[in-house]
Amino acid sequence: MSLKMLDLWVLVTSWILWCIWNVSMHDMRITSIRYRIASTHHWVAFLLLTITALGGCGDKEKGPLLQGTLVKDFGVVQYAGPDMAVAHTFTFTNTTKRTLQIAKISSSCGCVTPVASTKTLEPGAALEIVTAMKLLHPGKKKEHITIIFESEDDPIKMEMIAYGRVVMSLKSEESEVTVARDQPGTLTLLAETSASMMRPLDPYWPDLDGLLVEFQGWRRVDEDDESSTSWMGTLNLSLVEDDMASTNGSDDETNELVVTIGQHNELRVPVKVLP
């Protein structure tokens, strides 16, 4: 029996007993002051006993059943198709002094698959919920996972959030970039997305020795096409001050700049450094 049902049962039983006692006292036609005072004392004692009983029934550990982070926000991720999924492991600790038994784990969508490391959680033990969420389409995705325990009234609710952006293609206007001491280089990026007004993620690249690379941001270049969106971004390349002296009198040097957006769009461009 749950705590709420037990409290209700005690309250109803107490009220019935009080009614029976009150009627019996009335039928006895007790009118003396002494008995009236005694009946009042009895009623006060009975009321205190009922309150104590209710308080005892509800005397259970306060606070949450589990301690841990309930929300995982992936932020903006690169959308790669309907089979793409993001994964996270929720970790909790049983903060109660009793053993918890998982009765059911459910999710708000069939695209979310939560798996528990155990169904029986001893006091102080850890619980892991390994969860994968499929991004069936670009845009914001927000789903919930619920853990229901046996003989417990309050379930545990978790939340996963991700925002998928799409890049269909990535290319550059330049086939090669030249950088010199007094001549910074420029690489123009062209990205096409499949969802209107969805700005691509900012590109990233590994560091190149002696070169400083800075991204100047995206701007939309087509306003009429509703089926796709084209964006233009600029990378500025320049020599690092400390490395300029080492280029004097040396031969031309060619490096490769690898520009990536998300996990599935990569661009490789040669960078020639002049003495």
Number of Cβ atoms within 10 Å of the Cβ of 192: 18
Q: Average of pLDDT values for 239-266?
A: 73
Q: What is the pLDDT of residues 177-203, one digit of tens each?
A: 999 988 999 999 998 876 655 678 889
66-166 homologous superfamily = Immunoglobulins (2.60.40.10)
Token pair of 38 as six digits: 């005694």
CATH node for 169-273 = 2.60.40
Q: Over the stretch 93-141, which tens digit does the pLDDT of each residue have?
A: 999 999 999 999 999 999 999 999 999 999 999 999 999 998 887 778 8
How many whole angstroms separate alpha carbon 134 and alpha carbon 84? 6
**What whole-number distance in Å separates Cα of residue 239 and Cα of residue 201?**
26
The pTM (predicted TM-score) of the whole model is 0.49
Average per-residue pLDDT in the chain?
A: 78
> What residues are paired with 229 via a beta bridge?
193
pLDDT tens figures, 19-38: 665 655 555 555 555 555 55
